Chains A and B, each alone.
Chain A
């Protein structure tokens, strides 16, 4: 079973716009991570946020975490066509294995 649910399931935007994806999860966590997957490829780790952190930045990425609501958001600013991919959140439930959400498919049009 999948721990997280992302919304929206799909998102289409124009280059230069911001993209926001949300993730909800079910259990207590030690950390939450976001991954990106280009079509037909493996996943690439983007960013990790610990349960005692509320916000984290990495380049054009901004992640927030609200453990009281069991939710996280990923913001991609000034999107580019190359950002087109599926994005997954993953949580650890205090174990070594990650449980992935259902993903958001992002399409950025030039």
Chain B
């Protein structure tokens, strides 16, 4: 597609439920990034892939968060046993290479109740 596609657009999860958020980057984009954005704040880095290799996962808040990009294209961010503090917008971005101008998706708004 022409842009970065994220699904679902909105997700309501009960506390303790597992969720999976999908990111479909621009075709040919080598680098893929996940960010978490709390209301009124800037995006916070979670993790980064170059092709299928996860090069940096230093921003993942706990071991309940897991991301993968098995074939170097689509990526999934999984959150296990969701908690209320996980409520945020999860943004995915991709770039041809490195950080020279990310293209962001519209995000998934996760609400944990």
Residues on A lying within 8 angstroms of B by beta carbon are 1-2, 4, 31, 33, 35, 40-45, 48, 88, 92, 95-103
B42 at the interface (CB under 8 A from A): yes
A residues in contact with B101, CB < 8 Å: 33, 45, 48
Given A97-B48, A97-B56, A101-B42: A45 touches B106 (CB 8 Å cut-off) = no
B4 & A96 in contact (Cβ 8 Å cutoff): no
B99 & A100 in contact (Cβ 8 Å cutoff): no
Q: Is the interface of A mostly helix, strand, loop or mixed?
A: loop
B42 & A88 in contact (Cβ 8 Å cutoff): yes
Q: How far is the CA of A48 from the CA of B99 in the complex (A)?
A: 10
Encode B91-110 as 1/0 by CB contact (under 8 A) with A.
Answer: 10100001111111111000
Q: Which residue of B lies closest to A47 (CB)?
A: B101
Residues on B lying within 8 angstroms of A by beta carbon are 4, 31, 33, 35, 41-45, 48, 50, 55-56, 91, 93, 98-107
B104 & A44 in contact (Cβ 8 Å cutoff): yes
- Tell me the smallest distance from the CB of A96 to a CB of chain B, in Å: 5
A residues in contact with B43, CB < 8 Å: 43, 88, 100
Q: Which residue of A lies closest to B31 (CB)?
A: A96
- Tell me the smallest distance from the CB of B6 to a CB of chain A, in Å: 8
- Tell me the smallest distance from the CB of B42 to a CB of chain A, in Å: 4
A45 & B42 in contact (Cβ 8 Å cutoff): no
Among B4, B44, B50, contact of A42 (Cβ-Cβ < 8 Å): B4
B48 & A96 in contact (Cβ 8 Å cutoff): yes
Q: How far is the CA of A86 from the CA of B107 in the complex (A)?
A: 16
Among A42, A96, A102, contact of B105 (Cβ-Cβ < 8 Å): A42
Given A42-B91, A43-B102: A96 touches B42 (CB 8 Å cut-off) = no
Q: How far is the CA of A97 from the CA of B57 in the complex (A)?
A: 11
